[in-house]
Amino acid sequence: MTRTHLDQTLANSRVVVVAGSGGVGKTTLSAALAVRAAIGGRRVAVVTIDPAKRLADALGIAGQTAIGNEPVRIPLDDAHGELWALMLDTRSTFDALVDRYSPNADQAQRIRSNLFYKNISGALSGTQEYMAAEKLYDLNGDERFDLVIVDTPPTRQALDFLSAPARLRRFIDHPVYRIVIAPSSVGLRAVSAVSQPVLRAIAKVVGAQALDDALAFFRAFQGLDAGFRQRAHDVDRVLHEPSTAYIIVTSGQAEPVAEATYFVDALESANVAVSLVVANRLMPYFGGGDISLPAPLAGNLRELADERRAEESNLEVLRTARPDTPWIRVPLVPELVDERLDTFASLRLLGRALGDAD
């Protein structure tokens, strides 16, 4: 039932968001799901967020092409569909938005060269989540693709990704932001910002130069806010559409399983149904103890069997808490462990394993 559920999710969704706690295999599974969907006939774009670039490199080796912020086609002989991959570059995605909504090239240039902008566009917490959502929106409207699979950044807050557009809107509408941009709109640009008490206090903490950069940014940003607000609204709509599916990944360890349970609850209270939970990298079953092995090996086998039992009881907690949420198991694929063979071949392997799962 669940295997069919996975393939149905890949066949019927326009967007699949892959979320879960850190290190559980989100990036790897996003790529493997994309491979599977492309083999099955869909024209897929997969956006990965992998700062280490290992996965992108692995895909790039197969395609002899470097993977960047724009989709590149990955050759896949046995596919009925197409596989395209890109790696989210937060900064370039933000730059593209600035260009799109700036009234003229001059203003875009002023924003892009501003120091404060340079800092927030790459590093501000939340920017990456929003830009991932933004990229998703952009690809969703791209006629080359009929399925977009989005890897999400590692996060402790289940809803960071989902709530990113709303947070951006709140920021734009925040009274402080309005106050900060106000002087230039009433022609008081010449008055030093630092003469205002609130800002003077802030300047003491962050430094006058940093504050001036920030103010210059907000002023330059004027005129773009309406566009950004509308865009955030549209992105939000796509995140909540029924054709957008959410897949939660977990390992068999107690903590990620508890987090996955929490993720499912949190998404549901935000009116988003989780299509599938993937329990990834599970210990394989090594058979019964009917062969006699030398002591060290028998000891190893016992340890692995203990680990497998622990995983099963951790997952039981999830199944009991969420009996209606479909889920599948994905075994540990030895080729993917460590950096041994993080290649396209192993992704295909995993893509196929997804079908055999359960």
Ligand X SMILES: Nc1ncnc2c1ncn2[C@@H]1O[C@H](COP(=O)(O)OP(=O)(O)OP(=O)(O)O)[C@@H](O)[C@H]1O
Residues that bind Mg ion (CB under 5 A): 26-27
Does 345 bind ligand X (CB under 6 A)? Our answer is no
Query: What does 332 interact with, of ligand X, Mg ion, none (CB < 5 to 8 A by kind)?
Result: ligand X
The only residue of 43, 135, 219, 281 in contact with ligand X, by rule CB under 6 A: 281
| CA–CA distance, 51 with 90 (Å, rounded to integer) | 11
The only residue of 6, 10, 17, 26 in contact with ligand X, by rule CB under 6 A: 26
- Kind of pairing between the strands at 82-87 and 72-74: antiparallel
Query: How would DSSP label each residue in 34-80?
Result: HHHHHHTT-EEEEEE--TT-HHHHHHHHHHTS---SS-EEE--TT-S
Closer residue to ligand X in complex, CB, 196/343: 343
Identify whether the C-beta of residue 9 lies closer than 8 Å to the C-beta of residue 130. Answer: no
Binding mask 173-202 for ligand X (x = CB under 6 A): ------------------------------
Closer residue to Mg ion in complex, CB, 26/135: 26
Output the CA–CA distances (angstroms, integers) from residue 342 to 27, 106, 251, 291, 309, in the order listed.
12, 44, 18, 33, 28
**Within positions 254 to 273, which residues make up the interface with ligand X, using CB under 6 A?**
none
Closer residue to ligand X in complex, CB, 25/126: 25
Does 280 bind ligand X (CB under 6 A)? Our answer is yes
What are the phi and psi torsion angles at 149 (to 5°)? -110, 125
At 171, the amino acid letter reads F
Query: What does 28 interact with, of Mg ion, ligand X, none (CB < 5 to 8 A by kind)?
Result: ligand X
DSSP state of 283: P
Does 126 bind ligand X (CB under 6 A)? Our answer is no
Per CB under 6 A, the segment of 206-214, 228-236, 321-329, 336-344 that binds ligand X is 336-344
Size of the site for ligand X (CB under 6 A): 17
First-to-last C-alpha distance (Å) of the chain:
9
Identify whether the C-beta of residue 222 lies closer than 8 Å to the C-beta of residue 181. Answer: yes
Closer residue to ligand X in complex, CB, 114/155: 155
Instruction: Give the tokens for residue 33.
Output: 């799901």
Query: What does 342 interact with, of Mg ion, ligand X, none (CB < 5 to 8 A by kind)?
Result: ligand X
Does 22 bind ligand X (CB under 6 A)? Our answer is yes
Does 36 bind ligand X (CB under 6 A)? Our answer is no
Closer residue to ligand X in complex, CB, 129/236: 129
Does 336 bind ligand X (CB under 6 A)? Our answer is yes
Identify whether the C-beta of residue 82 lies closer than 8 Å to the C-beta of residue 108. Answer: no
Closer residue to ligand X in complex, CB, 24/277: 24
Residue 130: HSE in the Cβ half-sphere, 13 Å Cα cutoff: 26
Q: Residue 169: how many CB atoms within 10 A of its CB? A: 19
Which spans of this chain sit near ligand X (rule: CB under 6 A)?
Answer: 22-28, 154, 280-281, 330, 332-333, 336-337, 342, 350
